[in-house]
Amino acid sequence: MDETQLGIESSVPPIEPPDTPLWLKIALDKVGVREISGKDNNPDIVAFHAAVDGQGLADEIPWCASFVNWALQQAELPGTRSRLARSFLTYGKHCEPTLGCIVVLRRGEPWQGHVGFYLGQRDDFVLLYGGNQSNSVRTSSYRKENVLDYRWPAIETWLATKGIV
C-alpha cells in the first residue's frame, strides 16, 4: 500500500490508553514483525495466514487481512476468515472512528484494499496500526479520502452465541 509520510510512520508500539480493546493490545505485541526476503518465511506471518483457513502461506502473499483476522481470533472474536481486506466491509457494524476499530481502505482494483486498526488521525490522514505496512507490522498514515468504512466487531452477537448475554 502506498503510504504518505507524515513523519509518524513507526515500528515502535504506541502507548496504550486504558480503554484499548483486547484485539489491539494483542496486535501491538507483534510490532516490528516483518517479511523475510528470499525463500524463508517469517513464522509469525505464516501463523497470521493460518488464522484465515489453516494454511500457512508465504510471507510475500498480502497479509494485512490475515493479521487483523489473527488478532481478532486471539481475542476470541470471529474474523472474516478471508485474506481480502474488503471482506471487513461487511464485518461487525459501522462505527465512528474509535481506537481499535477496523479501518478498510480502497487500493488499486475494486476488489483490492488494505485493512488495519485505527489509532487516530491528523489533518487529512488516519493513523493505522496493521500488518503488511511497508512489509511489516507498524503504524502508518493513509489519506482519509481512501477510507471506505470504519467497523467494530459485533461483540453482542458473539456473546449471545456463547450464551453469555
Q: According to DSSP H, which parts of the chain are helical?
A: 22-28, 43-53, 64-74, 155-161
CA distance 51 to 102: 17
pTM for this one? 0.86
At 81-115, the pLDDT tens digits run 999 999 999 999 999 999 999 999 999 898 899 99
> How much is the mean pLDDT over the chain?
87
Residue linked to cell 478471508: 82
Question: Which residues form the domain of 88?
Answer: 22-161
CA distance 88 to 104: 7
135 grid coordinates: 512489509
Domain count along the chain: 1
Instruction: Give me the CATH number covering residue 128.
Output: 2.30.30.30
Is residue 2 one of the residues assigned to a domain? no
Is residue 5 one of the residues assigned to a domain? no
pLDDT confidence of residue 161 = 57
Task: Assign 6 a pLDDT band (cuts: 50, 70, 90).
Answer: very low
Mean pLDDT of 121-128: 96
Q: Is the pLDDT of residue 7 over 90?
A: no
Would you call 91 helix, strand, or coil by DSSP? coil
